């Protein structure tokens, strides 16, 4: 973690395709001091990614978590589903720059990644960029994010 702020409460979730990466990433982030709660899935048995997305995104929407990380095979389906939940701004990301910009310009509160797209090392770097980067509040981006929020 980058500073001495009160640790963010972070949820993580995946479907079966993202299960192995979720396990590894959650462990690595906990070792780095992040407060990670695993909302499943808890095995490689097949599950439908919208069910995981709705569970995790709803918990963020209700304020139970500050941010969340979602993983499926591509990172795409689970992110699309998460964006259906009120208050969620989820970004599917497979590079560090996009993860930072999703926070700075879009105030993303969920990041989606694909276990068939990124390996553990890159997933860690993406997650840390997402978790450690602040939104540029008060900037020109705030009114744009407000327009996104008004679409809910």
Query: Could you say whether residue 77 binds ligand RB5 (CB under 6 A)?
Result: yes
CA distance 125 to 151: 31
* Residue 60 interacting with ligand RB5 (CB under 6 A): no
* DSSP E strand stretches across the chain: 9-14, 35-38, 67-72, 90-92, 110-114
Residue 6 is among the residues annotated as catalytic for this protein: no
In the bound state, the residue with its beta carbon closest to ligand RB5 is 77
Among 1, 8, 76, 120, binds ligand RB5 (CB under 6 A): 76
State the Cα–Cα distance between residues 25 and 133, nearest whole angstrom: 18
The DSSP call for residue 74 is S
What are the tokens at 104?
């700075």
Q: Under rule CB under 6 A, which residues in 8-27 are in contact with ligand RB5? A: 15, 17
Question: Which is catalytic among the residues 6, 16, 42, 72?
Answer: 72
Interacting residue ranges for ligand RB5, rule: CB under 6 A: 15, 17, 49, 72-74, 76-77
> Would you please indicate which residues are annotated as catalytic (active-site) residues?
72, 105
């Amino acid at each position: 973690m980058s500073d001495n702020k009160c640790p963010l409460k972070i949820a993580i979730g995946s479907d079966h395709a993202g299960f192995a990466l979720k396990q590894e990433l959650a462990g690595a982030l906990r070792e780095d001091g992040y407060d990670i709660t695993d909302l499943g899935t808890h095995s490689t048995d097949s599950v439908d990614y919208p069910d995981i997305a709705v569970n995790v995104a709803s918990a963020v929407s209700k304020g139970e978590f500050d941010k969340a990380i979602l993983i499926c095979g591509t990172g795409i389906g689970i992110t699309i589903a998460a964006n259906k939940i009120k208050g969620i701004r989820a970004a599917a990301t497979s590079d560090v720059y996009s993860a930072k910009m999703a926070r700075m310009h879009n105030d993303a509160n969920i990041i989606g990644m694909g276990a068939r797209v990124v390996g553990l090392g890159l997933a860690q770097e993406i997650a840390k960029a997402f978790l450690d980067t602040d939104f540029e509040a008060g900037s020109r981006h705030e009114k744009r994010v407000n327009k996104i929020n008004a679409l809910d």
